[in-house]
Amino acid sequence: MSEFRDFLELSYAELEDLNLQAKEQRRKRVAPDVIQEERLKYLTDERRIKAVTVLFSDLEGRLHMLDYDKKFLVKSYDNLTFDGSSIRGFTAQRESDLRLGIDWSAFYWAPADVFGPGKVLVFGEVIDKNGGTYSADIRGVLKEFSTEMFTTQGYTLNAANEIEGFLFEGIDAERRFHETGLFEYVNKGGYYHSLPGDPLREFIDTTAEVQRAMGFENEKDHPEVAPSQFEINYTYGEVVAAADQIQLYKLICRQIATQMGMTASFLPKPVVGVNGSGMHTNVSITKNGKNLFWDPKGEEKISKLAWQFTDRILTHGNDLCLLLNASVNAYRRLDPHFEAPNQIKASATDRGSMVRIPIGNEKSARVEVRSVGPDANPYLVLYSIFKSGLQGDTSKIKNLRQAERYLPDNIYTAMENFRGSDWTSKLLGEDVKGRYADLKQASADRCPRLLGTIVKAPEVQFHHDVYNQLLWNIF
């Protein structure tokens, strides 16, 4: 660090304090104008901040980042325009101007050794030309739905996600897969097994430290069942904050892995013959601090509301599959031989079920949707689960919770179900539904129709988290 560059660098303890304070404001729903005023004053007064990184996600869930000069942002935060036609799933070229609003409540202080000194992060909201939420910005759609549920029902929607991933040798392992044809493990240990100083343990420890500093409130971390696989768990949060944390979790993992000369991959099944990666999604609803999913006298000790929620998810299991399993590769994971859920049923014990009812208490009673892949758009996942669970239909299928029904084993069947579903039209609107289906079709059509027994280069190369313009054109 040069003595001439006096940029903000805070200790991890200071970062944690600041991030937890911001998180508490968000949890208490402090008025947006109050938080905005506070953040703008902070940015103006803190001379050691040089830039603000604004984050937003496209329709498929890929994270985009724009760095704004701090002084420019403070002056122009209410008129940040960008070209939406360059973002997959956003506007057509003829109507490309969109604006970014700032969600000042979603403000993060980040470690200087990971994100660079003198920078802070904040999530943006995509605004259409009429000044409203842009329909393909699912974060904004989710935020509107969450606010509506709170103001009309008093409901707080809560989520906690268990996100698995793999750590592979080399910094560009996914983007070079079409050349190499393989992923190299950094550790062959397996469940809970690692030694101090081995690369996987070092990666997990470093990532956990960064998450802690960014206010994640960690719970536990460990190597997973497959070689080189990891899971780093943190506490539940209000639904929009929870989705933001998924995006940050993956960003932090990728950043740390790159700094270590490796790749953190969230492909659902990058290696055949071993367990894939999931993103088990635990959800509950509270009202006035009380968990509405808990009932000590209810079946499996969850409430009637929780069972109605579960029944609606099961009813719409096939409708939602393309949203929860968003890539060609995701359908390799839905294989019951590797503890993966492929049955559209609910169970307290069977891990092959789409929905599991974990053992809980008054605080932790919840419903766990197990069929979600870690590469799905987290805003779309949480929006579709909560809206379906609260407002979806309930099927008259006999014995719905244990019926012999299965999720698709390939993306083409999932697309057919999605396109043909009335519920997905209500959920997303015809325009956004069509755009999403077309994006999935474009990637799928570049891949073999049959999955076969080995991972094919195109299912990695044209994956929405992996491709870039150069790779997309190698076809």
- pTM of the entire structure? 0.96
What does the pLDDT read at residue 29? 96
Q: Which CATH code for domain 12-134?
A: 3.10.20.70
Choose among 20, 12, 18: nearest CA to 213.
12
What is the chain's alpha carbon radius of gyration, rounded to the nearest angstrom?
22
Domain edges within the chain = 12-134, 155-473
Mean pLDDT of 237-253: 98
Quick one: average pLDDT of 244-266?
A: 97
Say if residue 93's pLDDT is above 70.
Answer: no
Of 262, 288, 303, 320, which is closest to residue 436 (Cα–Cα)? 320
* 84: confidence class by pLDDT, cuts 50, 70, 90: confident
Cα–Cα distance, 61 to 465 (Å, whole number) = 8
pLDDT of residue 2: 60
Q: Do domains 12-134 and 155-473 have the same CATH topology?
A: no
In the numeric block, which tokens belong to residue 378? 């987290």
Q: What is the pLDDT of residue 425?
A: 98
The reply to whether CATH 3.30.590.10 applies to domain 155-473 is yes
Question: What confidence tens digit (pLDDT) does each residue in 96-124 have?
Answer: 678 999 999 999 999 999 999 999 999 99
Confidence of residue 154 (pLDDT cuts 50, 70, 90): very high
Give whole-number Cα distances, 456 to 177, 283, 290, 337, in Å: 9, 34, 48, 20
User: Using CA atoms, how far apart are residues 87 and 29, in angstroms rounded to an integer?
Assistant: 31
What pLDDT does 197 receive? 65
pLDDT of residue 94: 53
Q: Which amino acid is at 70?
A: K
